[in-house]
Amino acid sequence: MRRAAPSAAFLLAVSLGTLAGEGAAAPEGATRASASASPGPAPTHTAGGDPEPGAEADAPLPDPKSLPALPALEPLEKHVASPESVEELGRLLGRLTSSDDKTRDAARAAIATAAQPGWVGAVRARVQDLRESVDRDRAPRILEDARKAVRETRKKEKRKAAKDDDEQDDWLEFVHERAKPDDRVWRDLVELLGCVRILGAIGTTPAVRELIELRSYFGDMLRVDLQRQVALVGDEAVPALIEARKHDAQVVQRFAALELDKLGRAIPGEAVGTRDPQVLTDVLRAFGRTRDVDAVRVALSFANHDRRKVRDAAREAVVAIGEPGRWQLRDAFEDLRGEKPPKSAAWSDVAKWIFWLYDRSRVAEAERAVTAGFALQKEGKHGEAVARFDDVLARDPFAPRRGEMVTSYLALARATSLEQAEPRLALLRKALRLEPESAQRTVVEAEIAFSEAKLLEAQGRPDVFLLRRAVELDPSHAAAREALATFETRVVEPPADRLRLAVAGSIGAFAILVAGAIALTGRRRKLTPPAEKTTKPPAPSGEGGIEPPPEG
């Protein structure tokens, strides 16, 4: 029976999903072509980048029962409010409702830097309290009065109101300008607006989930403010908005659909158009939680992604959608194998075969790169070997035989001069992370201690403890033993020739100072004018200078 031609909607979804997948993987290198976007078997790439025809089409299919179990989507977990986060949030909200203007302004400005992801649980708990205490009649009037006052001020200033003023304005600032710290309703409103700001500043998927819940809790009172916060969060809000399209409240469903459309992320192919791997991971899992059948092909395009966490999220999404995506799975299988799967095969079996084909191709490519790296290691070309190993570890941080890679990283680090301390230490620390319990662990730690000691010594901050530790960890470390043996003479007691030079320099400097002081004193004497001599005027006398006799 002839296979029907794909529909236009299918081709559009595949194209958008493939393009978005390539953009998302740009920092890690080009993403492999989507299985659903290629007309034939997906090509395998060698370590050098040359494509080879895939051999998976000729391999017999294994029994699905012998393959690994399908990954399950983890349930959503509510963040628990820790006592510390509750206390810190309480202090910030207390400052926002302070009677002092400067304290309120400082607290409002500090929200962006003070908010922490660990606060989500505390904010949710505080919002639940506010749901009970907020006056649903007076609070909206206080908010509207504050907004009206701003509009009146703008009218007096003859400022032309922009079309999107409500989208850009800060309602918390407006309410602060008409402060009523003694009014409980005003304080509740300020705390509620503060919680909105805090969730927006955190900006993670759990925070945006709580932000969206406020739409159902408080109706239209916060609608515009929530829209503004979602726009500020941007792509990080997409996963929570996708989940909210299946919310129990219709008002939230409409809100989420509208905001996704504003962000340009309304369809699955657009939703994955992000360069943040964490956001991409959350988006893929959101497809699974909402069981979006239209997203199956897009999720499959990431099921063989270079990043393991993206690959796992895509597979979890496919499995969570399950039976409704059966035909998309069969099409993807036919694209990979060039033949249709058995009619009696369940969707889960087809999914296992697809993931097996992906893994077989990727593992074969990784094995070729690893084999080439160990061949270079055997030849003593450790720099080239490390380059191959880096490529493998970037794709799979838990690649097999990574403990054997330590030899090349250690050799390359030792070949790096001590003047290049940072690159040297980076190589050594990576070698330690590869296999913390390897036989070469103490050797690597000794080399790290020695390199840090030489770096501190070059900076004028010698530390003999690091040299002692290096010798204790690796007694055969000749450079460390020599540095420790000469530490007192090199660092603590300067050599005799350096001491003589220092003394001579000090004497010369003292002589120059004395000569300068003498010269300066003589110059001052020459410049000082002589003091005028004062004489007593002669007494009046008579002729011939004879004093006249006294009268009488």
Domain ranges of the chain: 1-48+268-365, 79-148+155-266, 366-492
Torsion angle, alpha carbons of 221, 224, 229, 232, to 10: -170
Rounded Cα distance, 329 and 18, in Å: 16
Closest by Cα among 96, 120, 126 to 108 = 96
Could you tell me which residue, 535 or 242, shows the higher pLDDT? Answer: 242
Torsion angle, alpha carbons of 284, 285, 291, 292, to 10: -20
| Residue-wise pLDDT tens digits, 339-379 | 999 999 999 999 999 999 998 888 888 888 888 999 999 99
CA atoms within 13 A of residue 31's CA, in its CB half-sphere: 27
Radius of gyration over every alpha carbon of the chain, rounded to an integer in angstroms: 39
Tell me, what's the pLDDT at 367?
Answer: 82
Query: With 50 as the cut, is the pLDDT of residue 38 above it?
Result: no
Task: Tell the burial category of 493 from Cβ atoms under 10 Å away from its Cβ (0-12, 13-18, 19+).
Answer: exposed
Do 274 and 24 touch, CB atoms closer than 8 A?
Answer: yes
Do 428 and 413 touch, CB atoms closer than 8 A?
Answer: yes
**CATH, domain 366-492, list 3.30.2270.10, 1.25.40.10, 3.40.50.620, 1.10.510.10:** 1.25.40.10
Tell me, what's the pLDDT at 210?
Answer: 95
Q: Give the pLDDT band of residue 507 (cuts 50, 70, 90).
A: confident
DSSP state of 118: G
Neighbouring-strand partners of residue 51: 45
In the chain, % of residues over pLDDT 70: 78
Task: Tell the burial category of 403 from Cβ atoms under 10 Å away from its Cβ (0-12, 13-18, 19+).
Answer: middle
Rounded Cα distance, 459 and 479, in Å: 19
Tell me, what's the pLDDT at 139?
Answer: 93
Q: For residue 76, give the 3-state DSSP assignment.
A: coil
Scan for tokens 């966490």, then name that residue: 309
Q: Give the pLDDT band of residue 502 (cuts 50, 70, 90).
A: low
* Joined tokens for residue 68: 């690994």
Distance in Å from the first CA to the final CA of the chain: 168
Q: For residue 437, give the 3-state DSSP assignment.
A: coil
Rounded Cα distance, 276 and 458, in Å: 39
DSSP state of 251: H
Could you tell me which residue, 311 or 533, shows the higher pLDDT? Answer: 311
Q: What are phi and psi of 40, to 5 degrees?
A: -130, -165
Tell me, what's the pLDDT at 462?
Answer: 86
Scan for tokens 């009218």, then name that residue: 155
Query: With 70 as the cut, is the pLDDT of residue 320 above it?
Result: yes
| Residue-wise pLDDT tens digits, 408-461 | 999 999 999 888 889 999 999 998 888 777 778 889 999 999 999 888 888 888
Rounded Cα distance, 305 and 17, in Å: 13
